[in-house]
């Protein structure tokens, strides 16, 4: 049996993990093959195992992936990636509501886009009307006046001879 000993600067690892945080709502963890926490952004979780934090063993079968968890009646999303050849994992645990918070903005963006599009289309229709349709209407009215003038004075239209 071989034993490998590794020395890590846990402060440097924790600082690296903390630099990736999106606030104080999520957490990063490095766990070994037994799901024991080696390093984390939550200092009170070190020297614990992940099943104690999340409530059950983690099924991290693939090289990378995600799991949907419920911790204390709150839905969470856990993403993971395997560190080869150690068989360790880097985990990112974030509340699902934080991930979905950005989705609440999408309907507002769509509504603003629809309103802007409506006004742009209305403006284009107005410009089209002013520059294309109005001259055609003026020409049609002028034609009607010429026809009325011809009838009034008995001038009949003549077709050009070929």
Check residue 22 and give its pLDDT: 59
Res. 118: pLDDT tops 90: yes
Check residue 6 and give its pLDDT: 64
pTM: 0.54
Check residue 114 and give its pLDDT: 96
SS3 63: coil
User: Token match 């239209």: residue?
Assistant: 157
C-alpha distance across the termini of the chain, in Å: 111
pLDDT digits (tens, 9 = 90+) for 46-58: 678 888 888 888 8
Highest mean pLDDT among 34-43, 54-63, 72-81: 72-81
pLDDT band per the 50, 70, 90 thresholds, residue 129:
confident
CA distance 16 to 12: 6
How large a percentage of the chain has pLDDT more than 70? 77
CB atoms within 10 A of CB 126: 10
Res. 9: pLDDT tops 80: no
């Amino acid at each position: 049996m071989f034993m490998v000993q590794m020395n890590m600067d846990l402060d440097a690892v924790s600082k690296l993990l903390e630099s990736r945080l999106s606030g104080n709502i999520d957490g990063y963890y490095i766990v070994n093959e037994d799901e024991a926490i080696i390093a984390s952004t939550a200092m009170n979780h070190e020297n614990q195992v992940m099943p104690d934090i999340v409530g059950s063993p983690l099924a991290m079968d693939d090289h990378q992936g995600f799991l949907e968890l419920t911790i204390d009646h709150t839905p969470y999303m856990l993403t993971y990636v395997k560190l080869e050849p150690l068989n360790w994992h880097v985990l990112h645990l974030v509340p699902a509501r934080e991930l979905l918070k950005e989705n609440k903005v999408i309907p507002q963006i769509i509504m603003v886009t629809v309103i802007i599009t409506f006004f742009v289309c209305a403006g284009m229709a107005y410009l089209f009307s002013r520059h294309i349709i109005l001259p055609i209407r003026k020409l049609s009215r002028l034609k009607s006046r010429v026809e009325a003038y011809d009838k009034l004075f008995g001038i009949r239209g003549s077709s050009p001879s070929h």
